[in-house]
Structure 1
Amino acid sequence: MSRKRALAGVLLVAFLVLAGCSSVLGPDSVDEQALAENESYDWSSNANASINVTGGEYEAVYKVDNRTQFPIHSRDGLGREGPLAISALRFQYPNGTVVGPSSPALNATNQEKRTMISLPARNGKLAFSASAQGKRLSTQTFVSGTYEVTIPQGMRVTYEPLARVSPGDHRTTRTDTGRVQISWPDVQSNAVIVRYYLARDLYIFAAGAAVLVVVALAGALYYLRQIRELERRREQAGPDVDTGENDGPGL
């Protein structure tokens, strides 16, 4: 048994060493086919970051100001950081020309806990798509300044706890198509989080809350009746019940 444990320990150490060496050898390329996917981005926004959530994914457009590298990353529920899986990578020059990863100057690689995007120019706009989970958008803030997030058609963020919008300094408007857009004048936090709901979810939540209230009232009335019944029985028993309080000392 001791030999098996020793062998298992050696294998574990070897695995960790090899894993460490693989990260030192160099960056890993992201999925080139995913980067080359087609996507129609809205380049017209004046916000520093414009995010369009379409359901299972979101399309993000960021203003690039005097930089040649654009690091991005994700963060899981345990707070661990890692590369962000992206697709449909595009860059728009100030003159409006849009290029994709077929341009040798625009590429992305995974480096330890980051996805590093190399930009073809120091100024312009960078766009990519990434996955969104359920009725929720959570993304790290890769630029500061003005942000806008447009949630899917029919979704709302009016009432908590069904909805959550962070940071709190925001306002909501409706687009021409009736979608809700959330905007921030100056985002300095590490992440933007938006949890939204369907309009019908509000009715379901209200109905569930009403049922709980009815059940709670019924329970309260039941216990109140039980208490009154006990009081009635005690009154019927009268003062002749021997409680032992008036007994004199024993003979």
Structure 2
Amino acid sequence: MNRRRALAGVLLVAFLVLAGCSSILGPDSVDQNALAENETYDWSSDANASINVTGSEYEAVYNVDNQSQFAVHSRDGLGREGPLAISALRFRYPNGTIVGPSSPALNATNQQERTVIGLPARNGELAFSAPAQGKRFSTQAFVSGTYDVTIPKGMRVTYEPLAHVSPGDYETTRTETGRVQIRWDDVQSNAVSVRYYLARDLYIFAAGAAVLVVVALVGALYYLRQIRELERRREQAGPDVDTGENDGPGL
């Protein structure tokens, strides 16, 4: 009986760990090599959150206001939350001094479904990089206020259903390099997401739609022609067509 209880306890602990509850064993430190990676950030934005999507990753800069910690997380397609795989961690003091994870006051740990970043000061700007996916970018809204999201070069968000931007109250502008930048003046939602497309995708979509229209027209003309052909044959057959009715009683 004791052995069974001990085995059950071990299995329970293993299940909790695999389910992401590793905090019962203490927080997990984030890969220090990843945190120390080099990255160039744009610290000049006046937005509360400035995000530059470059393709397979994005660089984010957040304004920190009276905080000693900054918690971030990701969410998969099933709505499950987990730590965010961050890299190139940096903090900029109000006087312009920038420090990295070599500073003991700037650190990151994975705690349950969150990555918790310890800050060296309560005010400043926090920057990190994280993975992006395909032609879609999404992030939880870790701060409220103004958001800027710059999508990769050549991408557009003009037409649905190829594109979708959420929340919906936004404006778009072009940067000096021709990239599209999306701005929200006051994000109060839980997340920000952008689905975009290559400019050439619009032409492919339009060409595909045109082909479908042509096929539909050809099919409609074919069936119309068949109907007219049947009507013509019926007229040629004349009124003596056998309808299957008897000519009179007794016949």
> RMSD of the TM alignment (CA)?
2.1
Deviations 1:31-53 (A, max 9, x none): 11101101111111110000001
Give 2:73's aligned residue: 73
CA change 1:108–1:250 in 2 (3 A) is farther
- Once the two structures are aligned, what percentage of the paired residues are identical? 83
CA change 1:28–1:176 in 2 (3 A) is same
Deviation at 1:25, TM superposition (A): 1.2
CA change 1:149–1:249 in 2 (3 A) is farther
The 5 Å alignment of 1:135-174 reads 135-174=135-174
CA change 1:246–1:193 in 2 (3 A) is farther
Give 1:7's aligned residue: none
Give 2:16's aligned residue: 20
CA change 1:238–1:106 in 2 (3 A) is same
> What is the distance in 2 between the residues matched to 1:246 and 1:12?
88
Give 2:131's aligned residue: 131
Give 2:206's aligned residue: 206
> What is the distance in 1 between the residues matched to 2:9 and 2:167?
43
> What is the distance in 2 between the residues matched to 1:248 and 1:186?
87
CA change 1:240–1:14 in 2 (3 A) is farther
> What is the distance in 2 between the residues matched to 1:153 and 1:51?
14
Deviation at 1:211, TM superposition (A): 1.2
The 5 Å alignment of 1:87-106 reads 87-106=87-106
Deviation at 1:107, TM superposition (A): 0.9
The 3-state SS of whatever aligns with 1:79 is coil
Kindly provide the amino acid, as one letter, of the partner of residue 162 in structure 2.
L
Deviations 1:218-244 (A, max 9, x none): 111111112222222233333333334
The 5 Å alignment of 1:24-43 reads 24-43=24-43
> What is the distance in 2 between the residues matched to 1:190 and 1:245?
75
TM-score w.r.t. the length of structure 1 is 0.89
> What is the distance in 1 between the residues matched to 2:95 and 2:165?
35
> What is the distance in 1 between the residues matched to 2:39 and 2:156?
25
Deviations 1:80-139 (A, max 9, x none): 111110100111111111111111111111111111111111111110001111121111
TM-score w.r.t. the length of structure 2 is 0.89
> What is the distance in 1 between the residues matched to 2:192 and 2:250?
80
Deviation at 1:250, TM superposition (A): 6.7
Kindly provide the amino acid, as one letter, of the partner of residue 176 in structure 1.
E
> What is the distance in 2 between the residues matched to 1:11 and 1:130?
39
The 3-state SS of whatever aligns with 1:18 is helix
- Runs of 4+ in structure 1 over 4 Å off: 10-14, 244-251
Give 1:6's aligned residue: none
Deviation at 1:11, TM superposition (A): 8.0
The 5 Å alignment of 1:187-226 reads 187-226=187-226
> What is the distance in 2 between the residues matched to 1:250 and 1:90?
105
> What is the distance in 2 between the residues matched to 1:36 and 1:250?
106
